Structure 1
Amino acid sequence: MTEFPTTSRIAIPGTDLEITPLNLGGNTFGWTSDVQESFDVLDAFLAAGGNFIDTADMYSQWGEGHSGGESETVLGQWFADRGNRDQVVLATKVGAIQSAAGLAHDTVVANLDRSLERLQTDRVDLYYYHYDDESVDIADQVRTAAELVDSGKVRYIGLSNYSTDRMREFFETARELELDHAIPLAIQPQYSLLARSDYEDGYMQVAEEYGVGVFSYFSLASGLLTGKYRSREDLEGVAREGQTGGYFEKDGNDRDPFTVVDAVVTVAEAHDTEPASVALAWLLAKGVTAPIASARTPEQVAPLIAATTLQLSDEEIADLDAASDGF
């Protein structure tokens, strides 16, 4: 079994949740990883000291023949088989499953119960509104969130894919309504070396203003930052090919993400480590609480965990900043 350096656990700000600073993404479970492969990944993650797992009710409705709920179902089977639910800090999301989308009160309440049934648990530690629903007033969203926490089925609330304006409105409305337990304690923005501007020019300021935990998604840019793909031809036919198109152009201008990948590989070689470890360590150096990254096989867990103890020099961080400027 691979041995890992000891990874210290940290608290999600404003909570009593102690986590490893690496959030294992569950989007592969029941999609690119079958049940046994998913169990192997999850077992390896816990064995390495990890304890924080992220999923969503809509995972993986994009897969052929899928309708959502596949990831939660696999996780629930694993909890039941291993009897280890209390060892895990569990995050899931609501609002984007096609069969019952949106954040209307009754929709959210029903979808939470369905998630709990699939997950074979009585509570979610961190429950995200996955996407804003502008047809539902923020005040009503807040009241629903407070009700979920009051029920004991949800411990803490998070937000993902809201505009910064609507996100701030959520925080302020919860305060005005004196529903402090509905104040989000986490945000989930897209952020990586290949997607910097939205976070650094907006969501970072929200996180600092409200003192919330930050859990970045697409932290490895759909696999580009693992160093596995060194040209567009390498991506042809892979499961994530369709998710990578946006990294090659922005605002009508072509970009070359492989120049950033080259810089990541150079730093990785200097540390005798994997490019994925460097890309995630850069996010931690930028103040991300715990980047989200997924693994299709147990062998892919090691580079993720290694990021939590990898110390990049100021010069290396500056070189990666320069290479990814404009992304």
Structure 2
Amino acid sequence: MEKIELGKSGLKSAPIIFGGNVFGWTLDEKESFKMLDELYELGFTTIDTADVYSRWADAVPHGTSERIIGKWIKDRRVRDKINLITKGGSSLQPGGPKNNSRDYLTGAVQDSLSRLQTDYIDLYFTHFDDGETPVNQALEAYQKFIESGEIKHIGASNFSAERLQKSLNIAAENNLPAYEVFQPEYNLMVRDKFEGEIEEICSKNNLGVIPYFSLASGFLTGKYRKKEDFEGKERKMFADKFLNDRGEKILKSLDEISENHNISQAGVALAWLINRPGVSAPIASATKSSHLKSFKEAVEVSLSREDMEVLNKGSKQE
């Protein structure tokens, strides 16, 4: 599988990054190991997680995803074959305050290294900007870990255009490490959180871009077309908001392209992202072996200019 570069970081990845939020949430440890084994065999070896990923509803401890991934990597002895991405700065409780202070992030990095059972993290993200802490504090915290080799590269997620640009300016002005990759919410349903000013900043500074919620929490698989389809599903809290006229229009566009290429709607949605300007590699999750088929489809399909136009027009936000 052809590898792509994540901006100017030097990191190379398969065209799709696996989202580890499912580990310890919808997949238990045994199921997670099976999924990780399959991903590895298919060549999808960049894994994205975070210190907060767990199953809050059932009081599963935060960091469960990191613990599972760390245990799998150690058991399979594949650390040098995996690009490991994690994040810190988000609240350990749903809806809680964010914290990008130097001391907090220093502790967060140390805890992640311990849970992941590794000497280094390939790419570490400031998960959410708290909007208040001077941006230099996060960069100063990361500088010590970069100097020790415990963090190789850093990125920012969910930043406003203003705070992202300020972070880049402060890094340049003060000889601090700079963010090299940006992680926004971006998909056919949600385009305005990346397109525009943030996209321009990323392009100007050659930042790699790895969007999350690439399938809009499963909505873009085409499996959820009415509210009843979400009943009893974990993703209801994230995706039933897309059941509207615009969502229906986008699903029709996906149906059309899917039928033309004889691939799944999920494969088309991921392929759209892979082919979008500025995007390095979308992040996507899976809970069943069969779901990985869409990863292969997205990487192998060749969407025409007309295909892209149908999807662009159908998903345009007013």
TM-score (norm 2): 0.94
- SS of aligned partner of 1:167: helix
Match of 2:169 among 161, 169, 172: 172
Q: Does 1:48 align with 2:39?
A: no
**Could you say which residue in structure 2 is the equivalent of 1:216?**
211
| CA distances 1:216-265 after superposition (whole Å, capped 9, x unpaired) | 011000000111112222112210000114435xxxxx644122112112
Identify the residue that residue 280 of structure 1 maps to in structure 2.
Answer: 270
Alignment of 1:202-213 (within 5 A): 202-213=197-208
2-structure distance, mates of 1:18, 1:101: 30
Pairwise CA distance, 1:304: 1.6
- 1:325, distance to aligned residue in structure 2 (A): 1.3
Q: Tell me, yes or no, if structure 1 residue 301 matches structure 2 residue 302.
A: no
Query: Residue 196 of structure 2: SS of its match in structure 1?
Result: helix
Question: What amino acid maps onto 2:183 in structure 1?
Answer: Q
1:11-160 → structure 2 map (5 Å cutoff)? 11-98=5-92, 102-160=99-157
Contact 1:189–1:203 (Cα < 8 Å) also in 2: no
CA deviations over 1:101-130 (Å, ceiling 9, x no partner): 512212111111111111111110000000
Q: Is the 8 A contact 1:188 1:217 kept in 2?
A: yes
List aligned pairs for 1:255-266, cutoff 5 A.
Answer: 255-266=245-256
Q: Distance in 2 between matches of 1:233 and 1:323?
A: 24
Alpha-carbon separation, structure 1, partners of 2:115 and 2:218: 28
Count of residues in correspondence between the two structures: 314
Amino acid paired to 1:189? P
Contact 1:21 1:290 in 2 (8 A): yes
Residues 132-182 of structure 1 show CA distances to partners (whole Å, capped at 9, x for unaligned) of 123311122222222221121100000001111000000010000022xx1
Gaps of 5+ in 1: 1-6, 249-253
Aligned pair partner of 1:239 in 229, 234, 238: 234
1:40 touches 1:297 (CA, 8 Å); kept in 2? Answer: no
The answer (yes or no) to whether the contact 1:68–1:97 under 8 Å persists in 2 is: no
Q: In the alignment, which residue of structure 2 is the partner of 1:3?
A: none
The answer for unaligned runs of 5 or more in structure 2 is: none
Shift of 1:28: 0.3
Structure-2 change in CA distance of 1:61 and 1:172 (3 Å):
farther
DSSP 3-state at the match of 2:303: coil
Aligned equivalents of 1:92, 1:18: Cα separation in 2? 16
Query: Structure 1 stretch 51-60 or stretch 293-302: which is displaced more?
Result: 293-302
Over the residues paired in the alignment, what is the CA RMSD in angstroms? Answer: 1.6
* Native 8 Å contact 1:31 1:63 kept in 2: no
**Conservation of the 8 A alpha-carbon contact between 1:22 and 1:305:** no
Tell me what 2:193 maps to.
198
1:267 aligns with 2:257: yes
Report the AA paired with residue 260 of structure 1: I
Cα deviation, residue 298, structure 1: 2.2
Q: Which amino acid aligns with 1:271?
A: H
Amino acid at match of 2:90: A
Task: Look up the equivalent residue of 2:130 and give its one-letter code.
Answer: D
TM-score (norm 1): 0.92
Contact 2:5/2:280 (<8 A) preserved? no
Query: Which structure exhibits the higher relative contact order, with contacts defined as CA atoms closer than 8 Å and separated by 6 or more residues?
Result: 1
Q: Please, which moves more after superposition, 160-169 or 38-47?
A: 38-47
Corresponding letter in the other structure for 2:269: A
CA contact (8 A) 2:49 2:85 kept: yes
Mapped partners of 2:37, 2:227: distance in 1: 33
Structure 2: distance between partners of 1:74 and 1:143: 29
CA distance in 1, matches of 2:245, 2:139: 40
- 3-state secondary structure, aligned to 1:187: strand
Q: In 2, distance between residues paired with 1:308 and 1:187?
A: 21
Which residue does the alignment assign to 1:315? 306
C-alpha distance in 2 between matches for 1:314 and 1:63: 44
* 1:27 Cα deviation from its structure 2 partner: 0.4
AA aligned to 1:113 is: Q
For residue 317 of structure 1, report the CA deviation from its aligned partner. 0.6
For 1:143 and 1:151, the matched residues in 2 are separated by 13
How far did residue 195 of structure 1 move?
0.4
